[in-house]
């Protein structure tokens, strides 16, 4: 599991560790980790140039001490102070190692290090920092701890900010590293372990070993009913393809049986494409809404009457009202969630974490907010972020497949939070395999789920 902590949690853990370490030891650990990451990016030290953009706090000190390490390795290091006073000991260390201070871009560097503000900074950047970054546009940029100017605890952006190619963070991930739009501004994130003793994280991201541990697997004496039966109420005469894609996601072998309930003409097409799928009967979970059209509200009501875990997607989301059972998973995209919360889509996209949590609390169930980094939120505010997937997955029908996957995992016995987060992870991993670096359509995702599962480590 990758854990993302808040600024307050990090500060408390750092204070506890500092009390046990010699003065300056923690900053030296961070600086050496940062320097090694920059060296790896450079490829070689000699003949390379690095420019440090240095602010007034410890973040700037990390950059200066890292610059000293780089200078001793043979890198030409300049520091551009963007404050009247920068970390004095760090600056002295840089000068002793052969680095120098500058007041602008004298020679275009190979890498820029953003040490302007750290996790204690406010969103946005001062004009002098904006001007410095503009003068260095196009140069690979490494952010120290977080990209300067982002909101660390929410992942939101409010004004100018650094867009990093690489962020080197210390001790733990921060929320801004996982949650968009700030996660997008973080680029690739490299974590330097500082040995912090941290509490439970409010935001986390599953890793392959977590998915392998959570994934329901059949026992030696398993039979189809014990493995779980998922029912799909999706599709219509107008949108028959949605039923096929939703059933495809459900019928990936993650549970024991799939039942389809829908218009007769659509059911015929489903059986032709998926001969293993059967008709109405008892289920352990429902998937409702994809392509349901004007019948989606009635189908949702029928599914909820069964009292089993239910995935509510697409057209059915417009018929959600009031608190739902805690076993329910809502799967909106930003536009659908905006309608459900009477908000603007732009507001949801600017603050997805806040809106996902708000929706989960309002409806009393798990909310899966689809996006580049999909968020899965509980009513209590716990969140998992999906970091698998490729941009090619932004294609029509992909969400229908995802709903089926989540429903199958509910039927197989996972709770709503685990089913939604594991299903989202597998959906992204399968799309990555199916894409193989190129375009894909939604129908290619479900057949790749088996390969995604086979690629997991042993649980």
For the chain, give every domain's residue range.
2-204, 208-454
Mean pLDDT of 99-113: 95
- pLDDT of 457 strictly over 90: yes
Q: Tell me: domain 208-454, CATH 3.40.1190.20, correct?
A: yes
Helix (H, G, I), strand (E, B) or coil at 157: strand
Does the pLDDT value for residue 120 go beyond 90?
A: no
Angle at which helices 398-411 and 416-435 cross, to 10°: 140
Residues 6 or more apart whose CB falls under 8 angstroms from that of 280 comprise 231, 259, 261
- CB-CB neighbours of 395 under 10 Å: 16
pTM given for the model: 0.96
Q: For residue 106, what pLDDT is reported?
A: 85
Mean pLDDT of the chain: 97
* Strands 100-101 and 285-288, sheet pairing: unpaired
Q: What is the largest CA-CA distance in the chain?
A: 80
Could you give the percent of the chain with pLDDT greater than 90? 98
CB-based contacts of 378: which residues, under 8 Å, 6+ apart?
360, 366, 417
Residue 106 sits at φ, ψ, to 5 deg, of -90, -45
User: Predicted confidence band at 218 (pLDDT cuts at 50, 70, 90)?
Assistant: very high
Compute the distance between CA of residue 138 and CA of residue 142 in angstroms, rounded to an integer: 12
* DSSP track, 218-287: --TT--HHHH-EEEEE---SS-HHHHHHHHHHH-SSSSSEEEE-S-HHHHHHHHHH-TT-B-S---SEEE
Convert 297-342 into a string of H (helix), E (strand) and C (coil): HHHHHHHHHCCCCEEECHHHHHHCCCCCCCCEEECCCHHHHHHHCC
List, in order, residues 6 or more apart from 268 with CB less than 8 Å away: none
Segment 100-112 shows an average pLDDT of 95
Say how far apart CA 205 and CA 235 lie, in whole Å.
32
- Compute the average pLDDT of residues 146-174: 97
Name the percent of the chain lying above pLDDT 70.
100
pLDDT higher than 90, residue 121: no
Q: What are the pLDDT digits (tens) for 276-332?
A: 999 999 999 999 999 999 999 999 999 999 999 999 999 999 999 999 999 999 999
Residues in contact with 412: Cβ distance below 8 Å, sequence separation at least 6, in sequence order: 216, 227, 228, 254, 255, 256
Question: What residues contact residue 350 under an 8 Å CB cut-off, 6+ apart?
Answer: 156, 157, 181
What is the rounded CA–CA span in Å between residue 376 and residue 264?
A: 34
- Cα distances (angstroms) measured from residue 191 to each of 37, 41, 55, 276, 345: 10, 15, 21, 46, 33
Q: Measuring CA to CA, which residue among 228, 217, 219 is closest to residue 259?
A: 228
Integer Cα distance of 189 and 241 in angstroms: 38
CB 311 within 8 Å of CB 292: no
The pLDDT assigned to 145 comes to: 97
pLDDT of 242 over the 90 cut: yes
Buried-state track 235-270, b at ≥16 Cβ within 10 A, e below 16:
bbeebbbbbbbbbbbbbbebbbbbbbbbbeebbebb
| DSSP 3-state of 377 | strand
The pLDDT of residue 399 is: 98
Cα(348)–Cα(154) distance, rounded to whole angstroms?
Answer: 13
Q: Output the CATH code of domain 2-204.
A: 3.40.50.10260
Q: Which pairing describes strands 203-205 and 2-5: parallel, antiparallel, or unpaired? A: antiparallel
pLDDT digits (tens, 9 = 90+) for 21-70: 998 899 999 999 999 999 999 999 999 999 999 999 999 999 999 999 99
CA–CA distance, 151 with 124 (Å, rounded to integer): 8
């Amino acid at each position: 599991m990758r854990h993302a902590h808040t600024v307050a949690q990090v500060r408390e853990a750092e204070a506890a560790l500092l009390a046990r370490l010699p003065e300056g030891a923690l900053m030296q650990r961070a600086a050496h980790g940062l320097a090694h990451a920059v060296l790896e990016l450079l490829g070689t030290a000699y003949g390379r140039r690095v420019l440090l953009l240095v602010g007034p706090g410890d973040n700037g000190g990390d950059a200066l001490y890292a610059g000293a390490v780089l200078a001793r390795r043979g890198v030409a290091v300049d520091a551009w102070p963007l404050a009247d006073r920068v970390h004095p000991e760090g600056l002295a260390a840089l000068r002793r190692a052969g680095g120098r201070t500058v007041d602008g871009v004298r020679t275009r560097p190979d890498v820029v290090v953003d040490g302007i503000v750290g996790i204690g900074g406010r969103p946005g950047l001062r004009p002098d920092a904006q001007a410095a970054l503009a003068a260095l546009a196009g140069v690979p940029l490494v952010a120290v701890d977080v990209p300067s100017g982002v909101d660390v605890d929410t992942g939101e952006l409010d004004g100018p900010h650094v867009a990093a190619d690489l962020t080197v963070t210390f001790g733990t991930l921060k929320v801004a590293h996982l949650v968009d739009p700030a996660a997008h501004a973080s680029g690739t994130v490299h974590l330097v372990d500082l040995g912090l003793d941290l509490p439970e994280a409010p935001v986390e991201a599953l890793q392959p070993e977590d998915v392998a541990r959570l994934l329901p697997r059949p026992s030696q004496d398993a039979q189809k009913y014990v493995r779980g039966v998922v029912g799909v109420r999706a599709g219509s005469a107008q949108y028959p393809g949605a039923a096929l894609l939703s059933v495809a996601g459900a019928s990936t072998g993650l549970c024991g049986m799939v039942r389809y309930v829908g218009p007769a003409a659509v059911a015929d097409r489903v059986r032709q494409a998926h001969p293993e799928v059967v008709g109405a009967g008892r289920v352990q979970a429902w998937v409702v809404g994809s392509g349901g059209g004007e019948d989606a509200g009635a189908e949702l009501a029928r599914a909820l009457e069964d009292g089993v875990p239910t995935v509510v997607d697409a057209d059915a989301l417009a018929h959600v009202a009031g608190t739902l059972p805690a076993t329910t998973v809502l799967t909106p995209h930003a536009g659908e969630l905006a309608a459900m919360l009477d908000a603007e889509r732009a507001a949801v996209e600017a603050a997805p974490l806040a809106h996902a949590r708000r929706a989960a609390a309002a409806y009393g169930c798990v909310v899966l907010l689809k996006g580049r980094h999909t968020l899965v939120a509980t009513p209590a505010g716990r969140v998992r972020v999906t970091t698998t997937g490729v941009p090619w997955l932004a294609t029509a029908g992909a969400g229908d497949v995802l709903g089926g996957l989540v429903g199958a995992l509910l039927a197989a016995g996972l709770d709503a939070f685990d089913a939604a987060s594991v299903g989202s992870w597998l959906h992204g991993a399968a799309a990555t395999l199916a894409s193989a670096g190129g375009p894909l359509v939604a129908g290619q995702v479900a057949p790749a789920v088996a390969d995604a599962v086979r690629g997991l480590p042993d649980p």
